Structure 1
Amino acid sequence: MLLEAKNAIVYGAAGQVGTALSTAFAREGAKVHLVGRTRATLDGLADRIRGEGGRAETAVLDALDEAAVDAHADAVAAESGGVDISVNVIDIADAQGTPLAEMSLEDFERPVRIATRSTFLTTRAAARHMVRQRSGVILTFGGDGGGEPIRDYSIGGLQVALGAVDVLRRQLAAELGAYGVRVLALHTGGITEGLPEDFSGREAITDMIVGKTMLKRAATFADVGNAAVFAASDLARSMTGTSLNITAGAVTD
């Protein structure tokens, strides 16, 4: 198992991406600490992981709450022996479909504030323990990493939020590398299987995402989980400050 005896914290664990990450980490031997705001969904995921032979603990907290995030990371380190993997995939409540010139300031600012605050708080909490351990992996998620604007569809402040997280990820990698802590991003360019069946823009967004790829398909949640396991494992021990491009060829580098 690639993550045997590792402790992973997943914020937003019961969401679609969080579930993919959590189940993949558990499958590879990590003890997964599932964090979110809804007890029922967290417990359901924990039961599933345990039923498949994995290890999982749950905690209900808001990833925007500084004191709660710090206290939880400290508790995980004290009770489980350390924090080895941290990833934040909470919902950033973005408003899409409205052109920026017609969008309210509140709708524009919301995803930027949520993404940057939650990423900063969760990575800082983990990094303090990883620095002492002189090891650890912090993962970020979202976007395609290409730096290009989205054409023909407005995603509001989402692209700005993801760009800000990417800058934060690079700076963290530069500051934490000397302590053996790695910081990596997972870039998918969009996961079409996560779009609701009754969403009116599903077909247009699917065509936009898939149309940019070389493989003529989008990444799946399983692809995200597998890439995250690799990134968090010793197989990727020389990778930091960069992103794992799982855009199916939408972005070349």
Structure 2
Amino acid sequence: MTLLAGKNAIVYGGAGRIGSAVATAFAEEGATVFLAGRTGARLAEVAERIRAAGGAAEAAEVDALDERAVDEHADAVAARGGIDISFNLITHDDVQGTPLVEMSLADYERPVVTAVRTHFLTARAAARHMTARGSGVILFFGGDADPVREFAVGGLQVAFHALEAMRRQLAAELGPHGVRTVTLRTGGIPETIPADFAGRRVIEESITGKTMLGRAATLADVGAVAAFVASDRARSMTASTVNVSCGALVD
């Protein structure tokens, strides 16, 4: 029996590398996946690949920073049998590689504002439907982490810390209604680094060098763990983080 049979999952940023991997894993485990994002053509391609492999997927252009668009899309999915899983994986428009003392205020604060705004909107939209049904899972990605010494990451870590504060508060408020909130942490996924990025090799070596298993997490690893955490087999997991870092992150 598949882990997510009969469940509806919304994946925001479903055309991205992580989003498409998670959506594919959800579909492989039996979920109907509703891909949401701003790139309609790319979303359609991911949805078609999922359907070609025997899964169920639909795509919709949704700006996950737009309150009305998020609410209307969530309402439409809920009308199709409810929302069981919500996972926001849109990019945060962060600037990396620039030291903080050389960074503009706009570049520093953009990922913080973007992350907080979009996750609040999507989590709230899902939670309103989940609490009414008494069940559901809201997943986050990133998590608290120690400062990165090898590479300047701008405001990205601040954004992750803000999201963890949000996730903890949601866990406390939504738990009594049967809704779980969990964060997946990876320590970095080499596959997500653009092939033409000048510092790719250095970052890949840094990520792998910190692991205990001698390899970094893959996109497939993240998708598989996300599917498990979203399933009823993980029903006791909430207000927590799941370490998918191959030992790079020590809890």
CA distance in 1: counterparts of 2:238 and 2:115, whole angstroms = 21
Matched position secondary structure for 2:246: coil
Q: Does 1:10 align with 2:11?
A: yes
1:60-88 CA distance string (max 9 Å, x none): 0110000110011011111x110000000
Q: What is the RMSD computed on CA atoms of the aligned residues?
A: 0.9
- Alpha-carbon shift at residue 197 of structure 1 (Å): 1.9
Alignment of 1:1-150 (within 5 A): 1-78=2-79, 80-143=80-143, 145=144, 147-150=145-148
Residue among 226, 229, 233 paired with 1:235? 233
- Alpha-carbon shift at residue 59 of structure 1 (Å): 0.8
CA distance in 2: counterparts of 1:95 and 1:39, whole angstroms = 25
Matched position secondary structure for 2:87: strand
Matched position secondary structure for 2:211: coil
1:225 is aligned to: 223
Counterpart of 1:13, as a letter, is G
**Which stretches of structure 1, 4 residues or more, deviate above 2 A after TM superposition?**
none
Matched position secondary structure for 1:148: coil
Alignment of 1:150-189 (within 5 A): 150-189=148-187
Counterpart of 2:40, as a letter, is R
2:210 is aligned to: 212
Counterpart of 1:128, as a letter, is R
CA distance in 2: counterparts of 1:251 and 1:110, whole angstroms = 26
CA distance in 2: counterparts of 1:179 and 1:21, whole angstroms = 25
2:193 is aligned to: 195
Matched position secondary structure for 2:184: strand
Provide the TM-score with structure 2 as the length reference.
0.98
Bigger shift: residues 197-206 or 102-111: 197-206
- Alpha-carbon shift at residue 152 of structure 1 (Å): 2.7
Bigger shift: residues 204-213 or 222-231: 204-213
CA distance in 2: counterparts of 1:252 and 1:194, whole angstroms = 22
Please list every run of 5 or more consecutive structure 1 residues that lacks an aligned counterpart in the other structure.
none
CA distance in 2: counterparts of 1:150 and 1:54, whole angstroms = 38
1:29-71 CA distance string (max 9 Å, x none): 1000000111111111111111111111111011000011001
Matched position secondary structure for 2:97: coil
CA distance in 1: counterparts of 2:208 and 2:94, whole angstroms = 21
Identical aligned pairs, as a percentage?
A: 62
CA distance in 2: counterparts of 1:175 and 1:184, whole angstroms = 14
- Alpha-carbon shift at residue 167 of structure 1 (Å): 1.0
Please list every run of 5 or more consecutive structure 2 residues that lacks an aligned counterpart in the other structure.
none
CA distance in 2: counterparts of 1:187 and 1:45, whole angstroms = 24
Matched position secondary structure for 1:35: strand
Matched position secondary structure for 1:189: coil
